[in-house]
Chain A
Amino acid sequence: MKIYKAINAVQTELSTIGITKDRTNSQGSGYKFRGIDDVYNAISPLLAKHGLCILPRVLTRECVERISKSGGALFYVTVEVEFDFVSAEDGSKHTVKTFGEAMDSGDKATNKAMSAAYKYAAFQAFSIPTESDNDADAVTHVVQSTEATIKAILADIAECKTHDELKDAFYNGIRAAGNNPVAREQITKAKDEQKATIKGTP
């Protein structure tokens, strides 16, 4: 079982060099953080030196669509990942499981969430010294409150002049409401009220 010896060897070296927080969050409160590149740069030569492989395996992925403060779509992804720490010398292994969360307005939320899961697996497995617990992604997304989102949807519905407009607003509204029963009820009621004011059949 050479795996624990390899992990300990990497731990020993990291305990002296650590990983400094040399990046600053450009949005939000401007806090310092360690990026995934910092983690890779610090540990990859040590993994190679001590014959240790870290192999990821994504167990589950959950994606929820939210609305950003500016009204755009925001994808919130949570991944559950297992990392096999394997000794290249005798194939013995130890599995570490972590969760990663991330938000992105494009197609990067899953990648970011996997990076976060890796980062925390490395921090915890190697006990990398940290100055505080304030570690997060470089980008902070502000999610609109549910109440504000519903207000915006109801306002959209109230402004519809045709059935086609109402269909669009209603569909977008109930999809955004997700499984929130109160929101769905409010949106449905608003749709029925607006439908009654529009002439003709849908």
Chain B
Amino acid sequence: MSIIFRASALSAIMTDGKGNDELSVGAKTYVTKLAKEFIYGYDERVTTKYMDKGLRVEDESIDLYNAVHLSSYAKNTERKTNAWITGEADIVADDRIIDIKSSWCLTTFYVLADQGRDTGYEWQLRAYMMLWDKPRADIAYCLVSTPDDLIGYESKQLHKVDHINRELRVTIVPYKRDAALEDKIKIKVEAARVYYDQVIQEISKQHIY
């Protein structure tokens, strides 16, 4: 069975190598890590305080987004998978996907859409558009207060943000669906699969077990 890539990790294999369809050195390192995890039976995904905040304030960020837009979106809980990728989008609206990114603090919060046009997130959103067949996907950077126990020794001024106007605490970065870029996803996933199989064979060859 061929490996399916998670939408949130897709950016790791999307950078170009020497040829456009080849995997970059970084992508090969990532695929090697996946092969090693498979053979040795572990999952290296780590959680950071930034991810922890994202999970803990997710509902509050969705409430903030809904209040700013007077919308009524609820968290999507459906995971979709196609022949190449799998993912669980935050919000699935009629006309778009909305992915909520809760910023760590005021310093890391993007106030302009151009600042937040992160390529890693872009591939994640392209994967969601592909999986849900939507013409548009938005990243919604939301700034809500950090839970006390996560702030540590950082300045509370950067983390306690409830006093700031709600409209100023949501930044939208829109992406339009692009068939050519989706084809690129398919090509990269196929290349990553070939490399993944090679690495597994190589590990097996070098370790008799």
> Contact residues of A with B, CB < 8 Å?
61, 163, 166-167, 170-171, 174-175, 179, 188, 191-192, 195, 202
Q: Which of B48-72 contact A (CB under 8 A)?
A: 59-60, 63-64, 66-70, 72
In the complex, how many angstroms separate the beta carbon of A153 from the nearest chain B beta carbon? 13
Supposing A171-B166, A175-B60 touch, asked if A163 and B70 sit within 8 A by C-beta, the answer is: yes
A–B pairs, 18, beta carbons within 8 Å: A163-B70, A166-B70, A167-B67, A167-B70, A170-B66, A170-B67, A170-B70, A171-B63, A171-B67, A171-B166, A174-B63, A174-B67, A179-B59, A191-B70, A191-B72, A192-B72, A195-B70, A202-B70
Assembly CA distance A45 to B59 (angstroms)? 49
Assembly CA distance A175 to B152 (angstroms)? 25
Closest to B147 in A: A63
Return chain A residues, CB-CB under 8 Å to B166: 167, 171
Which residue of B63, B68, B69, B72 contacts A175 across the interface (Cβ within 8 Å)? B63
Assembly CA distance A54 to B175 (angstroms)? 59
Closest to A163 in B: B70
Return chain A residues, CB-CB under 8 Å to B149: 61
Question: Which one of A171, A192, A195 has the highest number of Cβ atoms from chain B below 10 Å of its Cβ?
Answer: A171
Other CB < 8 Å A-B pairs besides A166-B70, A202-B69, 14 of them? Answer: A61-B149, A167-B67, A170-B70, A171-B63, A171-B64, A171-B67, A174-B63, A174-B67, A179-B59, A188-B72, A191-B72, A192-B72, A195-B70, A202-B70
Assembly CA distance A163 to B166 (angstroms)? 13
> Contact residues of B with A, CB < 8 Å?
59-60, 63-64, 66-70, 72, 149, 166
Return chain B residues, CB-CB under 8 Å to A163: 70
In the complex, how many angstroms separate the beta carbon of B54 from the nearest chain A beta carbon? 18
In the complex, how many angstroms separate the beta carbon of A99 from the nearest chain B beta carbon? 18
Closest to A198 in B: B70
Closest to B149 in A: A61
Return chain B residues, CB-CB under 8 Å to A179: 59
Assembly CA distance A65 to B192 (angstroms)? 49
Closest to B67 in A: A171
Assembly CA distance A97 to B105 (angstroms)? 35
Question: Which one of B59, B64, B72, B166 has the highest number of Cβ atoms from chain A below 10 Å of its Cβ?
Answer: B72
In the complex, how many angstroms separate the beta carbon of B141 from the nearest chain A beta carbon? 18
Is A167 touching B72 in the complex (CB atoms < 8 A)? no
Assembly CA distance A1 to B10 (angstroms)? 58
Return chain A residues, CB-CB under 8 Å to B66: 170, 174
Return chain A residues, CB-CB under 8 Å to B67: 167, 170-171, 174
Closest to A188 in B: B72
Closest to B68 in A: A167
Return chain B residues, CB-CB under 8 Å to A175: 60, 63
Assembly CA distance A163 to B67 (angstroms)? 10
Return chain A residues, CB-CB under 8 Å to B60: 175
Return chain A residues, CB-CB under 8 Å to B69: 202
In the complex, how many angstroms separate the beta carbon of B37 from the nearest chain A beta carbon? 32
Assembly CA distance A83 to B69 (angstroms)? 48
Assembly CA distance A92 to B194 (angstroms)? 61
Assembly CA distance A61 to B60 (angstroms)? 19
In the complex, how many angstroms separate the beta carbon of B39 from the nearest chain A beta carbon? 38
Return chain B residues, CB-CB under 8 Å to A171: 63-64, 67, 166
In the complex, how many angstroms separate the beta carbon of A2 from the nearest chain B beta carbon? 36
Closest to B70 in A: A202
Return chain A residues, CB-CB under 8 Å to B72: 188, 191-192
Return chain B residues, CB-CB under 8 Å to A188: 72
Closest to B59 in A: A179
In the complex, how many angstroms separate the beta carbon of B186 from the nearest chain A beta carbon? 39
Return chain A residues, CB-CB under 8 Å to B68: 167
In the complex, how many angstroms separate the beta carbon of B69 from the nearest chain A beta carbon? 7
Assembly CA distance A108 to B60 (angstroms)? 24
